[in-house]
Chain A
Amino acid sequence: MTQRTAPSVRVQAENFDPGREQALLTHGRRNIGALVSFVGLCRDEDGSLESLELEHYPGMAEAEIARVADQALERWPLQGLTVIHRFGRIRPGEQIVLVLTAARRRADAFAAAEFLMDYLKTRAPFWKKERRADGAPDDWVEARFEDDDAMARWR
């Protein structure tokens, strides 16, 4: 009866369609009672940001997200899991990351989605560089201690 849920993990430059991903994840399924969809977007930082350049470590990015996804599957009884993370040039308003979690019950889907985002932010090998709208030199975004705190609460 129980079938092992295989996470879908993608690292890509192209944009993604959350509705299409949701349809793919739920297609033909009748045992999903809750689906949580989280999309991380690029903010314009009150107009000061022209764009982000997202650098990543090819190979490790996919592997590390898959490891985090496997941890989520061990902790919560998920029926489906999709993670997409983009790299390259991303402008304000554009999508950066998608996390979809499907479960019988919403508490598991919510918790797993939040866990995945907290872990991705501190463990997935991506680095954001900001291109400023005022022409100031590009600069790397610094890691936030709050993100480490957010991850630590899952231990």
Chain B
Amino acid sequence: MKALYFAWVRERIGLAEEDIAPPGEVVTVRQLIDWLSARGEGYAAAFANPATIRAAVDKIHAAPDAPIVAAREIAFFPPMTGG
């Protein structure tokens, strides 16, 4: 699946997007955050405070316990500040 990162999540990880292949036991947004956090310092910094992370699965807002199994695209970003 494709992972996308926006705003300071993107800056801390140092990537706008990448292909990821999490193991089969990673089935929710929250578990994916934990799995990504272990990939390196930038990831750990980006996901250090889960309360400030929002996620979207296939371009729809997703809660931490939302399933990711059939997802093609998962995005992580801070709370939105548009308008």
Contact = CB atoms under 8 A, between A and B. Distances in A.
Interface residues of A, number: 28
Interface stretch (B25-33, B38-46, B75-83): B75-83
B80 A59 contact: no
A127 B54 CA distance: 12
Given A64-B61, A125-B56, A57 B81 contact: no
Interface in A122-155: 122-129, 140-143, 147
A107 interface: no
Given A64-B61, A123-B61, A125-B6, A57 B77 contact: yes
B6 A127 contact: yes
Given A57-B56, A63-B59, A127-B6, A143 B79 contact: yes
Q: What's the interface size class on B, roughly?
A: 10 to 19
Nearest to B83: A121
Given A121-B82, A140-B78, 10 more contacts: A54-B82, A55-B7, A57-B6, A63-B59, A120-B83, A123-B80, A127-B82, A128-B81, A140-B8, A143-B79
